Amino acid sequence: MTEVPRRLVFVHGIGGIRDAEAEAASWSAALTRNTDLTSIQVTFVDYSKEFHVDGAQGDPAIETELLQELVAELVAELEENASTSSERVLADARMQLTATADQGPGEVVRRLANVLTTVLAMPGLRSAGQWASGRSVLGHLAQVAIYLGRAGEVDARIRARVHDALTAGPAVVVAHSLGSVVAYEALHEHSGPIPLLVTLGSPLAMSAVVWHRLTPRPPRTPECVDRWQNFWDCDDIVVARPRLERRFLPNTNGVIPVSRQIDSVGLWTHTATKYLAQPLVAAQIADALR
């Protein structure tokens, strides 16, 4: 039987430079708001500065191409489940995407930012308040392109930070956004037991950009994971394909992701703290830690 952990390892997602101590405190506070958890050892994996060191930026043309694919897929997958009120907005975004085909890198980036600004006008996203403009969304999505572009071994350095956090023994791993991609790949390289993996607002199943570039292949649950719970918010723009169990094979113990929808109230639906404050999310983590 796997040892019951009293440790939480948090892995953050897209965004700016982090203050690990402050983030660990705010994530923990959001989690414990709806639980009776006490005396939990928390490790916050901060890899945010890796995107700003020499060698992190690879070939601009390759990263621009990845960004084009990422934005195009995001729009396409939003169109699959679009409401009637969103169809016109997404048709406008699709038309703008077509115009990026023969542009130089600088113009492509500008147009992609405009596409995302259009997408943010969708009824559900218009009130979400996560980003002020398409350019701010694009700046954060660029981190996904950098990680998956794997220039200068930035992806390996980021995963090494997860490995360092797991050396102390069994832990519940909670990974948000791009952090779910990082944690997924790191756990495939990890041999110790992980009683529970929780992914929040995950882009893992995005076909063209993320899912097809994951290692190892074919994508499957890491062998060390005993349970995998995946949560998404219906107004989270980063989560176009939320049901990971449709795209990931089980590990040899038959473990597959179990995806559940939550509905956050108010602004900033993509933040980790918004997810962690949800009673359903907190209950799953608390049960694994008791």
pTM confidence score? 0.84
pLDDT tens-digit series, residues 234-246:
767 666 666 899 9
Give residue-wise pLDDT tens across range 200-258.
989 898 877 788 899 999 999 999 999 999 998 876 766 666 689 999 999 999 999 99
Query: How confident is residue 283, by pLDDT bands cut at 50, 70 and 90?
Result: very high
Is the distance from CB of 11 to CB of 182 less than 8 angstroms?
yes
pLDDT band at 267 (very low <50, low <70, confident <90, very high): very low
Residue located via tokens 């901060």? 46
Predicted confidence at residue 1, as pLDDT, reads 44
Average per-residue pLDDT for the chain: 84
- pLDDT tens profile 136-168: 778 777 888 889 888 788 999 999 999 999 998
Name the residue among 44, 33, 45 with its Cα closest to residue 285. Answer: 33
Query: Does residue 70 carry a pLDDT above 60?
Result: yes
In this structure, the number of other CB atoms found within 10 A of the CB of residue 37 comes to 16
Say how far apart CA 188 and CA 272 lie, in whole Å. 23
Order of strands, sheet of 228-233, starting from the edge strand that comes earlier in the sequence: 41-45, 7-11, 172-176, 196-200, 228-233, 257-262
Indicate the range of 187-196, 202-211, 213-222, 277-286 predicted with least confidence: 202-211
What is the DSSP code (8-state) at residue 78?
A: H
Instruction: Work out the end-to-end distance of the chain between its first and last CA atoms, rounded to an integer number of angstroms.
Output: 15
pLDDT digits (tens, 9 = 90+) for 26-69: 999 999 988 888 778 999 999 999 987 765 565 667 678 888 88
